Structure formats: structure tokens, C-alpha cells
Amino acid sequence: MLKAKKLTIILTFFVLISLFGTTFVPMSAFAESETQSSADAEPAPEPVPQPSVSDEINGDLPQYNLYDTDKLYSEGVFMVNLNTNIVVCSKNPDERMIPASLTKIMTALVCFENVTDFKKIVECPYACFDEFWGDNPNYRGASTAGFDTKQENLTYLDCLYGLMLPSGCEAANIIAYNVAGDIPTFVDMMNETAKKLGCTNTHFTNAHGLYDKDNYTSARDLYLITRYALDTYPGFKEICEATSYDMPANKTNPKGYTVTPTNKMMKTSSPYYYEGVKGVKTGSIYEYEEFNGTKWEKVDSRGVRTLVTTCTKGDYAYLLVTLGAPYYDENGKVPEQEYPYVDHKALYDWAYSEFEYSRVIGKNEYIMSAKVDMGAETDEVGLVTDGEFFTLLPKMEGAESIVQMIKPEVGEMTAPVEQGVFAANLQMVMGNKVVAEIPLVTARYVAIDQGEYYRRKVEEIVSSPIFIAVCAGIVLIVILVIVLNIIARNRKKKNFRSKRKIAVSSSKAGKPTVPKSKK
């Protein structure tokens, strides 16, 4: 009986130790695990950087629509602030239009993509000149860089300057011939490059941009091409910004000669001069013809002028593409003003007066509070910005044009909460485009309420299935002990009665009973 009691007590003791040992974790250990989960499980991400060239390639840019584009002569417009990659003006950006000599921007780009030695001498065969004297009236009277057939002292660099400054069409063909071996193969390379850059409304049929109905682009696509060339090849930018270049001597110019850009906004002597404008390329076709199957016929058109420029004033820089400005006025006369320059000046004047680069939100700015469970002396903690955000804003609207959204939704945090723990992202939204994300982090440390912690642990233990099962087991053990005790007592009483009955019977028989001695 004693052994059964001891066994019962020992089993009960070990069950209780097991229960409390696995369920009741010390507060210090709990605090350490909670801190680890708060700080490490979801680390604060790095702020999303400003858009890069890859953003330009997919064309997914935030945009303002504040300028009355009906005032512009150009039919296709795409103007981007280069500091922020924000589109500040757009008009028919994806409509296919005639690029004219803006085609040469792609010609230069493909050259930079495939040539490493720009001082290498190039070949100037008749194949690079013949089409300008052929049957196609659109190719006659093309602009030139002054190169001679069979000239033997031209380098790739000479050709690039001849291509971009005086807009030499023979320079385009010479580059194409020497890079690819023949002009059609080079044109295929131009189209492949356009596809690589994400252009969806562009197709080239020649390297110089003389009229062909299948040679077209859009304002947005031409922005992608130009932006990529400017950002990727410093040499391209240097050529576009040059105001003159000295060419080597040839038969036509035995003493050598100097070429200058066709962009009048770069020339201080021009009425169109605009301070800060650098490059990039002009284009124009005053008339063109199409072949109807039997003969060439003039297209009833006002011609076309195109222009790509960049402009920098102070800390602000823009890239502006315009297509489809008429060459002639409504009366078929050459107007007193050249429309692309009028548009570019108007847009630059407007942009530099309308927008400013401003701070939308600063570092450590309070945004909201988050609920904290089991916090000592407080049930919430402030969330502040872990970064700052500057962008281009309209002066009249300011930061009101930026919508702020918090993603993901901030949930309840559990103490202890360390300072600087990531909670969510503050998204800056312009239109439907997220232009930046600033992490929100906890502003201070929140300690755990120890009394509340232990109260909940006790409550957790008492309500746990294990505790209930152990209690039931203890009750069963107690009942079993009681039952065993009752059985033992009854058995003892029964044995006692039996011995007494035997003793009584023996005395009646006159035989004394002598207990046996134990050996």
C-alpha cells in the first residue's frame, strides 16, 4: 500500500513539472524571442530608388497633364524632367509619325553599340552615295556633311560628327556600310535595337531618315532611344552638344573645313537661341512623294519639321521630343517662324516657371501610431519615416499632387518593441504610379508589462488542454488512491474479523491458541 502511494505521488510530481516546465517560459526568454521576431522576421527594406534607365525602357513614367497642348504646332510631343523622370507634357506620344533626320539618332546609337575604335579609317564606296542620285525623288537634294566618294582619311568619329551636326545623309550610309558590311543589314540592326529598348511604334527603312512611308517612330519611342543613347554613351552626348567640328581635307575642301550644328537654339547669333539647350538633332522634310505603282506622285502635305533637344538651367534638366510640326504655314508659304523652335521655347519657358524640385516628406517625420500589445505604460508606438523624398512639383499645387498610401496595413505589434523596427511602407503615388516608397519604423523602444505577461501565462496554462488533462489525471489518481485505501481498509477489517472468529472458536474448544513464533 505504501509503495502505491509513493508511486502515485512521484507520477503526479513529474506530470506537474512537465506541464509547468514546457508552458511557463521565463519572461526574460520571452522578451528576447519577441525582440528577435520584431527585429529580424521582417527587416526594414531599402527605400525604393528613383527610376533608372530600365524604367524608361518600359515607358512606365509618372506624368503631369497641365499644359494646353492645343497651343503647340507639333502633333507629337513628349517632354520629361531628367531629374525625376516625370513626364511634364505629352501629346499623341504613341502616334506613328515621320522622324525625318531624327532617324540619325538611332544610326549614331547603333554605331556606338558596335564600334570600339572611333579613330579607325572607314571606307567611302559609291554604294554610300548612289541612292542620292537615283530614281527616288525623296532622296534627291539630301543634306550632306561634305564627304567625297572614295575619301580615304575619314574616321568613325568624323562620320559621327558629320551625321549629328550638319545632318549628313552620306555620313549615315558610310557608318551603316562600315559597321554592318551593307546598309540593309545595318537597318535591321537599327530595328533590333529599337525593339530591345521597348519601342512599339518605330520602324526604320534607312539610316538617314529621308522620306519612306515605312520609316516612322513616335514621340515616346524617340525619347526612349535618345535617353538611352545619352545615358549610356558619353561620347554621343559630347557630339550632340558640340558647337563645331573640324573635318579633314578632301578633294572638295582641300584645306579642310568646319561643320556646325543645324540646331538654331544652340547658336548665340540665332533669334531662336535658348540658354541651356544642348543638341540633340533637327529634322525636316519640306515635301515628299509616294510611288503609286507606275509613277511618283507628290503628297498634298505641309511638310514636316522635327526636333529633339535637352535643356539644363540650374539644377533642372529636360529632354523634349517634338514631331509633326508643319514645314509650311496654312497658305503653303514658309512661315517667318520655324514652328519646332517656337514649341520648344514655349515649353521650356513654361516648365522652368511652373515646376520646382521640392521636398515632399522628410526623415523622421511622424506619420501614424501602431497599437502595441502588452506594452509597459503605453499601448501604442509612433511610426516615423526612415528616409526623405524630393520630386518635381507644380508650384501652384505643391505636395498636394502627391497621394500618400501605407502598404501593407499596419497591424498590432507585441511588446517588447525595439526602436527602428520596420512596420510598413509609405508609398508616394502620382496618378496611378508609385514614384517612391519610404519605410515607416518605430520611433522608440516599448518595454513589456511583466505583470500582464505573467498573468497571461498563468491564464494560458490554466486554459490549456494539457493542464486540463493533467488536472483530470490528478483527480483520477486521487480517486484511485481513495479507492485503493478503501479496498485496503476493507481487506484489513476482513482479515481481522477472520482471525478473531478463529480465536473465538478455539477458546470454545478448550484448546488454547499459541501463536506461532516467527523464524
Q: Is it the case that residue 7 has pLDDT exceeding 80?
A: no
Question: How many CB atoms sit inside 10 A of residue 383's CB?
Answer: 24
Predicted local distance difference test score (pLDDT) of residue 196: 97
Q: Cα(85)–Cα(195) distance, rounded to whole angstroms?
A: 21
Q: What is the DSSP secondary-structure string of 331-398?
A: TSSPPSS-HHHHHHHHHHHHHHHHEEEEEEE-TT-EEEEEEEETBSS-SEEEEEESS-EEEEEETTTG
Asked if 360 and 402 count as a contact pair (C-beta separation under 8 A), the reply is yes
Q: Is it the case that residue 371 has pLDDT exceeding 70?
A: yes
What is the residue-averaged pLDDT of the chain? 87
Q: Could you tell me the residue ranges of all domains in the chain?
A: 1-37+454-482, 42-52+362-448, 72-357
Predicted local distance difference test score (pLDDT) of residue 28: 46
231-235, 262-266, 376-380: lowest mean pLDDT where? 376-380
Q: Is it the case that residue 369 has pLDDT exceeding 80?
A: yes
Model pLDDT for residues 489-499, shown as the tens digit of each residue: 888 777 777 77
CATH topology match: 42-52+362-448 vs 72-357:
no
Q: Cα(455)–Cα(249) distance, rounded to whole angstroms?
A: 96
Query: Quick one: DSSP state of residue 294?
Result: S
Question: What's domain 42-52+362-448's architecture?
Answer: Sandwich (2.60)
Residue type (1 letter), 426: L
Q: Which has more confidence, 449 or 14?
A: 449
Q: Work out the angle between the directed axes of helices 234-241 and 156-164 (0-180°, nearest 10).
A: 50
> pTM of this prediction?
0.75
User: What's the half-sphere exposure (Cβ side, CA atoms, 13 Å) at 468?
Assistant: 5
The alpha carbon of residue 466 and the mean position of all alpha carbons in its chain are separated, in whole angstroms, by 51
25-34, 97-106, 126-135: lowest mean pLDDT where? 25-34
Q: Which fold has domain 72-357?
A: Beta-lactamase (3.40.710)
Beta-strand runs (E) in 167-250: 245-247
Instruction: Quickly state the pLDDT bin for 368 (edges 50, 70, 90).
Output: very high
Asked if 230 and 239 count as a contact pair (C-beta separation under 8 A), the reply is no
Cell of 22: 514546457
